[in-house]
Amino acid sequence: METVTTLKSLRRSVDELRHGGTNLALVPTMGALHEGHLTLVREAKKHADKVAVSIFVNPTQFGPGEDLDAYPRQLAQDQDKLLSEGTDILWAPDVAVMYPRGFASHISVSGISAGLCGAERPGHFDGVATVVCKLFNQVMPDVALFGEKDWQQLAVIRQMARDLDLVRPCAEAIIGVPTVREADGLAMSSRNAYLSQEDRASAATLPAAMREAIAAIKGGARVSDALAQLEAALRDARFHTIDYATLSDAATLKPLEKLGDRPARLLVAARIGSTRLIDNMALCLMRSESKDQ
């Protein structure tokens, strides 16, 4: 595996890899890699001959007062993990390479970015869309893989790829990978490292309460009642702030008051201690939906 940190060396490595028509997958990450990330790498290998992983803690997707400085950075351990997964290129630029002095362009995907995490974290998805577009242009992968854990992010990136007629990867080559969970159901996340022992134990209430809400809705309960019960369960488990808990159309992310015949998604963001956790699960398992619940 080659670790590259400048655009020039990235281009050379990608050109060498591509020699002879080899196709390439990209897995964008912010590092502090866990099994969720490594599952994306393994999945990438099913879709392409070679795999590039990027590690970049993107400052433009963090708001003022968020955890940019505290975000775990552990490049040496990440390199070992990626090496043992058979990664071909690790693209690890620093901030000055990604955003050179005078950088002034931004991508803003309206509509789909507005609600949920976009409402709680103004500018977050502009930062995500801009850096992902740059990563696509830098690596020019045939396919790119993203976790369904960040359901709204996946939707924003797909919308951007469609709107901007991206060629590499094209919109259809953006692949979502089901959420990888700890044994007690908590979605894996680099931010779980912030949880105290007590909060970590309580955090498993989030997926459990979501499953209960889904069972209740499927059993005919009113969506508003099921969501109220979910919020109560979270507060009992010491979640002090619930940014949102909503049933939404899986594609448009518009809130739903009841189940219809289109795929729906239960999406939650809630805070425990100083940690903000997000999770989402499918409601009706349609053809295009994964069984991550």
Catalytic residues: 37
Give the list of residues 6+ apart from residue 241 with CB closer than 8 angstroms, or none: 270, 271
Single residue of 139, 175, 188, 213 touching ligand AMP by CB under 6 A: 188
Give the residue among 174, 178, 146, 159 at the shortest CA–CA distance from 280. Answer: 178
Q: Shortest gap between Cβ of 105 and ligand AMP (angstroms)?
A: 21
Task: List Cβ neighbours of 8 (8 Å cut-off, separation of 6 or more).
Answer: none
Q: Contact with ligand AMP (CB under 6 A): which of 79, 179, 246, 248?
A: 179
Q: How far is the CB of 27 from ligand AMP (least distance, A)?
A: 7
Among 30, 41, 155, 203, binds ligand AMP (CB under 6 A): 30
Instruction: Report the amino acid identity of residue 220.
Output: G
> How many Å apart are CA 202 and CA 272, to the nearest integer?
9
User: Which residues are CB-contacts of 192 (< 8 A; sequence separation ≥ 6)?
Assistant: 182, 186, 200, 203, 275, 277
Is residue 180 near ligand AMP by the rule CB under 6 A? Answer: yes
Q: Name the one range near ligand AMP by CB under 6 A: 31-39, 65-73, 96-104, 221-229.
A: 31-39
By CB under 6 A, tell whether 36 contacts ligand AMP. Answer: yes
Closer CB to ligand AMP, 24 or 40, in the complex: 40
The DSSP output letter for 173 is G
Comparing every residue's Cβ against ligand AMP, the nearest one is: 147
Q: What contacts 215, CB < 8 A, 6 or more positions away? A: none
Nearer to ligand AMP, 159 or 226 (CB): 159
Transcribe 133-147 into DSSP letters.
Answer: HHHHHHH--SEEEEE
Contact residue for ligand AMP among 13, 87, 189, 280 (CB under 6 A): 189
Residues paired with residue 90 on neighbouring β-strands, in sequence order: 3, 53
Over 49-111, what HEC string results?
CEEEEEECCCHHHCCCCCCCCCCCCCHHHHHHHHHHCCCCEEECCCHHHHCCCCCCCCCCCCC
We find the least distance from the C-beta atom of residue 30 to ligand AMP, in angstroms, to be 4
Residue from 187, 214, 230, 247 binding ligand AMP (CB under 6 A): 187
Binder of ligand AMP out of 13, 29, 60, 275 (CB under 6 A): 29
What's the CA gap between 2 and 79, in Å, rounded?
Answer: 10
Is residue 40 near ligand AMP by the rule CB under 6 A? yes
User: 139-158: which residues touch ligand AMP (CB under 6 A)?
Assistant: 146-147, 149-150
Task: Answer for the pair 253, 115: CB distance below 8 angstroms, yes or no.
Answer: yes
CB closer to ligand AMP, 37 vs 200:
37
Which region, judged by CB under 6 A, interacts with ligand AMP, from 28-36, 104-112, 217-225, 282-290?
28-36
- Tokens, residue 70: 């505290």
Q: Is 190 in the site for ligand AMP (CB under 6 A)?
A: yes
Subset of 71-90 contacting ligand AMP (CB under 6 A): none
Closer to ligand AMP by Cβ: residue 11 or 191:
191
As measured in angstroms, the least distance from the Cβ of 211 to ligand AMP is: 16
Q: By the criterion CB under 6 A, which residues form the site for ligand AMP?
A: 29-30, 36-37, 39-40, 146-147, 149-150, 177, 179-180, 187-190
